[in-house]
Structure 1
Amino acid sequence: MSTVANLAGAGPTSSDLERDARRINDGKISPGSIAIGVVIARLSEFFDFFVFGLGCVLVFPKLIFPFAPDPTIAMMMSFAIFSLAFLARPVGTFVFMWIDRHYGRGTKLTIALFLLGGSTASIAFMPGFDTIGYWAVALLALFRLGQGFALGGAWDGLSSLLNLNAPKNRRGWYAMLPQIGAPIGFALASILFWYFISNLSEADFLSWGWRYPFFVAFAINVVALFARLRIVGSTEFGVALEAKELEPRPIFEMLSKHASDVVIGAFVPLASFAMFHLVTIFPLSWVTLHGGQPATRFLWVQVVGAAVGIVGIVLSGLIADRIGRRSQLMIGALIIAIFSFSAPYLLDGGSMEQDAFIIIGFGILGLSFGQASGAAAARFDQRYRYTGAALTSDLAWLVGAAFAPLVALGLASSFGIIFIGGYLISGAICTLVALSLPRILDYGHEPVRRKRKSAR
């Protein structure tokens, strides 16, 4: 069996340190501990992103883009900056995969998470447009690119490790566990913003109150770093790495073998990813611009929606283990397509209709989003699973979610809110088409291994 050092290359690297850490640990990390580490990791990443996303609605249009001709244009400018992170994420994956191969996963995670937390915390120190002019826009864009670049390096393979430790009849259950971090991160970010908006005047909130959630993001990243490094030093992680289950491979080498799998895999979760920001960031922007209820109340409705989303994610694991992940994803896409016909009318109604949009939307999102990550990893064989799943996830978020708030607000403002229904149904159609392609046998049952076995 090859050693971790051999996988990383010659010379002393952090991979050697990781190997020593496994010897010191000598104990095993249970699947339950891995699951907790995965949830904490995803929570920290999504908290950073949602703090920024909520800032794009509640802070930046007034602080960074006061020169815009109207509030809608200012909000769209904020959403344009929001999209930059998703453009930087694949670049981060490319660079950090190289760091992973040469210096080890511990070094990669440490740099990535400090960059992620540092970029987020740096936003808290930013002066507004009234102080430094267009430099404020440039700094916000730079820090947002830093967030996306770092998130590309935060991919740790823990989801794959959790799947490898899962019983064959419970892979759907274990695949949904990392996804729980998203609604928890969103709920925490929403509660923080609600607290400061409710207890401060608008002037104080725009002056200093909004900055505290960005400070909290850095602290959460430090906690997540230690939780993840503990798992990196575990026996299971070392065995999986040495067995080349979680080996980082060069991006272009992986694409030479799995280019079509990356493209198809990026479209499989498109329905849930398109839905993702249309029930989190976009609705708050619509309520803020067009009314219906106060933003403080709506933030709490979204917290309730996030709790419903957690229930939906848990149910997705139970359902996927009974009917298969592919069938679960198809059902989720169909429900999103059906919901798209009523979504515009709910969001454009009064407070009760808007509340229904959030709670129903989060429930549907949970059923679909719960199995989205497992779908990407299942398309790749052992040698390329780690790198392939990372890049596929990057592209799926880029295509499905990066421009969702911007496009939705632009369509709704220019042509009417009914067009957000068309945006949702287009994502559902892409998912259904990708899942219907002949090469997709059954997500979660690793068709590549079955093919190799039959070849023998």
Structure 2
Amino acid sequence: MVSVANPTSSGLERDARRIHEDDKPLSPGSIAIGVVIGRTSEFFDFFVYGLGSILVFPKLIFPFAPNAVTATLMSFALFPLAFLARPVGSFVFMWVDRNYGRGTKLTIALVILGGSTASIAFLPGYDTIGYWAVALLALFRLGQGFALGGAWDGLASLLNLNAPQNHRGWYAMIPQLGAPIGFALASILFGYFVSNLSQEDFLAWGWRYPFFVAFAINVVALFARLRIVASKEFGAAMEAKELEARPVFEMLSKHSIDVVLGAFVPLASFAMFHLVTIFPLSWVTLNGGQSAAEFLWVQVAGAVVGAIGIVLSGVIADRVGRRNQLMIGAILIAIFSFSAPFLLDAGGKGQDAYILIGFAILGLSFGQSSGAVSSRFTQYYRYTGAALTSDLAWLVGAAFAPLVALGLASSFGIIFIGGYLISGAICTIAALSLSRALDQQ
């Protein structure tokens, strides 16, 4: 019974679930579609910003930099702000979830996420408002990350709960498909405008359209996710405390070691993530080999290859186990790290090979990176533990990757990105080994 004095959306969600009482049960396929739509919207927002941080912001926001490399590094310095704000968002929105319901939490979070991204479309340049342009861009980037912390909906866990026992790897990879789809959509939009507009028109107005689109995609994603949140299956999982939000510090008192391990297990794939999506475009733009327009279409092809790799990861994981699949992915990334710098510095064909091979390996690894050690969380704390673990994994593994990679490559040579990749692979192998040892105790 919901108190009238303290109304929450929990009562509204229970009423919505009653609407579904005469309907057929929500199938895993329907949950999967909602999960993919939700993840696609989140990744689209972040990739639109990531591509803008290479193609737009160095010229629009940081024209005062002494050279193009420094301007891009300044742009990349704002990139991690979203990942720093994300754990704060999780902390705040867990409280919203407990007090006002999952529907309210998602609505607020996705409005802030879409609004922050769309607001960038109206951002004046440095030549118009000076350093306020930098401050506003930083504010909107923080808004993206804060909102993403609240966009954690538990639908991937619901999908896992409804998955057949011998197909857990297959169902685990489905949410990860949102990454290549979101990246492909963002790259296609930018590729279209870069290819068909002059540099002056693109910087004046063309770049703004992908940021407008983000808000519309978030509205579609919101309705797709709320439909599942209002389902009987979701309600049953909530009643069983499978998807209940718990206080963050209470969860950490029970599972701090599991959170740390969970943050380091996917480090190889997360380090690889921005080294095949964001960093290579910056390197090509600054050092040549092919035009940005041509390279964006190569990256779209890479995203398709990455999606295939993610699907294959589900097949392989169901045969050898998710942990072994992650170990295989880390080893492949370590091997790739020796050839990656030479491919990226070998002109157009080498850069194409870097993207296609890199996305294939990323797909095989990233496909099983979500919830790699979620089984170590007790049922009571799984929802909150998985959310915070994901936040920290992205912060440690991916937040600073474009900035560090470009800084190292520009200062010391492209060979150093290989060292960055192999360090992530070593962390993943060590975390997987320690997790296995703890499980055997």
* TM-score, scaled to structure 2: 0.98
1:109 to 87, 92, 106: 106
3-state SS in 2 of match to 1:378: helix
Q: CA distance change for structure 1 residues 131 and 338 in 2, over 3 Å: closer, same or farther?
A: same
Instruction: Choose which of 339, 342, 365 in structure 2 pairs with 1:342.
Output: 339
| Deviation (angstroms), 1:198 | 1.1
Which residue does 1:77 correspond to in 2?
A: 74
Q: Distance in 2 between matches of 1:436 and 1:152?
A: 29
Instruction: Note the C-alpha offset of 1:378.
Output: 2.5
Which residue of the other structure, out of 19, 44, 53, is the alignment partner of 1:47? 44
Give 2:14's match in structure 1, choosing from 15, 19, 23: 19
State how 1:134-145 maps to structure 2 within 5 Å: 134-145=131-142
Question: What is the 5 A alignment of 1:222-241?
Answer: 222-241=219-238
Match of 1:12, SS? coil
Partner of 2:322: 325
Match of 1:212? 209
Identify which of 263, 269, 272 aligns with 1:275.
272
Q: Is the counterpart of residue 361 in structure 1 residue 358 in structure 2?
A: yes
Match for residue 287 of structure 1 among 284, 287, 293: 284
Letter in 1 for 2:266: P
Q: Which amino acid in structure 2 is aligned with residue 370 of structure 1? A: G
Find the residue that maps to 1:374 and give its secondary structure: coil
Q: Which runs of 5+ in 1 are unaligned?
A: 452-456
Note if contact 1:166-1:174 (Cα within 8 Å) is conserved in structure 2: yes
Distance 1:42 1:76 in 2: 28
Partner of 1:393: 390
Once residues 189 and 11 of structure 1 are traced to their aligned partners in structure 2, the CA distance between those partners, rounded to angstroms, is 41
Number of residue-to-residue matches in the alignment: 439
How far apart, in 2, do the equivalents of 1:388 and 1:238 lie?
Answer: 20
Q: Is the 8 A contact 1:336 1:428 kept in 2?
A: yes
The offset of 1:423, in angstroms, is 0.1
Aligned to 2:301: 304
Q: CA deviation at 1:12?
A: 2.7
Deviations 1:130-162 (A, max 9, x none): 000000000000000000000000000000000
Amino acid at match of 1:100: D
Note the C-alpha offset of 1:440: 5.6
1:202 to 199, 203, 218: 199
Q: Which residue of 2 aligns with 1:425?
A: 422
Partners of 1:325 and 1:137 lie apart in 2 by 42
Partner residue of 2:163? 166
Alpha-carbon separation, structure 1, partners of 2:438 and 2:106: 34
The equivalent of 1:454 in structure 2 is none
Letter in 2 for 1:43: T
* Displacement after TM superposition at 1:379 (Å): 2.4
Alignment gaps of 5+ in structure 2:
none
Give secondary structure in 2 for the equivalent of 1:244.
coil
Structure 1: distance between partners of 2:392 and 2:289: 35
CA shift for structure 1 position 438: 5.0
| Aligned equivalents of 2:195, 2:293: Cα separation in 1 | 7
**CA distance in 2: counterparts of 1:438 and 1:148, whole angstroms:** 29
Alignment partner of 1:435 out of 407, 432, 436: 432
Conserved? CA contact 2:44–2:214, under 8 Å? yes
Q: Is the 8 A contact 1:266 1:376 kept in 2?
A: no
Is the CA contact 2:262–2:371 (under 8 Å) kept in the aligned structure 1?
Answer: no
Partner of 1:190 in structure 2? 187
Residue 98, structure 1, aligned to residue 95, structure 2: yes
What residue is the counterpart of 2:244 in the other structure? 247
State the secondary structure of the residue aligned to 1:265: helix
**What letter corresponds to residue 403 of structure 2 in structure 1?**
L
Tell me by how many angstroms 1:377 deviates: 2.5
Cα deviation, 1:314-334, whole Å, max 9, x if unaligned, reads: 000000000000100000000
Q: 1:375 aligns with which of 363, 372, 376?
A: 372
> Separation in 1 of the partners of 2:39 and 2:7?
30
Decide whether aligned partners of structure 1 residues 294 and 240 sit closer, same or farther in structure 2, where only a CA change above 3 A counts: same
Offset, 1:29:
1.2
Q: Percent identity?
A: 81
Separation in 2, partners of 1:150, 1:409: 27
Alpha-carbon separation, structure 1, partners of 2:6 and 2:205: 48
Displaced runs of 4 or more, over 6 A: none
- In 1, Cα distance between the equivalents of 2:373 and 2:102? 21
Q: How many angstroms apart in 2 are the aligned matches of 1:17 and 1:378? A: 31
Q: 1:209-249, CA deviations, whole angstroms, 9 ceiling, x for partnerless residues?
A: 00000000000000000000000000110000000000000
| Residue matched to 2:29 | 32
**Do 2:244 and 2:383's aligned partners in 1 also have CA atoms closer than 8 Å?**
yes
Q: Determine the C-alpha separation between the residues in 2 that align with 1:274 and 1:439.
A: 22
TM-superposed deviation, 1:342: 0.2
| Structure-2 separation of matches of 1:433 and 1:236 | 37
TM-aligned CA deviation for residue 374 of structure 1: 2.8
Tell me, what secondary structure is at the counterpart of 1:375? Answer: coil
Structure 1 residue 62 and structure 2 residue 59: aligned? yes
In the alignment, is the contact (CA less than 8 A) between 2:279 and 2:405 conserved in 1? yes
Any idea what the Cα deviations from partners look like across 1:259-313, whole Å, max 9, x if unmatched?
0000011000000000000000000000000000011110000000000000000
- Matches of residues 4-15 of structure 1 in structure 2 within 5 Å? 11-15=6-10
Q: Does residue 152 of structure 1 match 2:149? A: yes
Matched, 1:402 2:399: yes
Query: Residue type of the partner of 2:15?
Result: D
Map of 2:86 onto structure 1 = 89
Contact 1:376 1:392 in 2 (8 A): no
Question: By how many angstroms is 1:441 displaced?
Answer: 6.9
Change (3 A) 1:227 1:438: closer
